[in-house]
């Protein structure tokens, strides 16, 4: 990875600091959610729909975790 935080081995040190990860997750969310809505909205119980939905929820959750920790570190002055 490109940043120093990504070379460390602890998850707690990486979360909320890696701008590359946050940009990649933002792109995946911006691509995944509209794709799911356009292609699989009517067939919610199909395997493809559920798989894409699970990935979109995971990406969104990880992005939200990154942003919450980033905001907490920025506001508390730990950066």
Give residue for tokens 């490109």: 2
pLDDT band at 30; cut points 50, 70, 90: very high
For the chain, give the mean pLDDT. 85
Q: 8 pLDDT band (50/70/90 cuts)?
A: low
**Rounded-to-integer distance, Cα 40 and Cα 18, Å:** 32
**pLDDT score of 76:** 86
pLDDT of 13 over the 80 cut: no
Q: Is the pLDDT of residue 4 over 80?
A: no
């Amino acid at each position: 990875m490109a940043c120093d935080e990504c070379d460390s081995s602890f998850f707690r040190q990486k979360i909320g600091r890696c701008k590359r990860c946050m940009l990649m997750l933002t792109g995946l969310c911006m691509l995944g959610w509209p794709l799911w809505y356009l292609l699989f909205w009517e067939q919610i119980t199909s395997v493809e729909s559920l798989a894409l939905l699970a990935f979109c929820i995971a990406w969104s959750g990880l992005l939200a975790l990154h942003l919450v920790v980033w905001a907490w570190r920025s506001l508390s002055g730990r950066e």
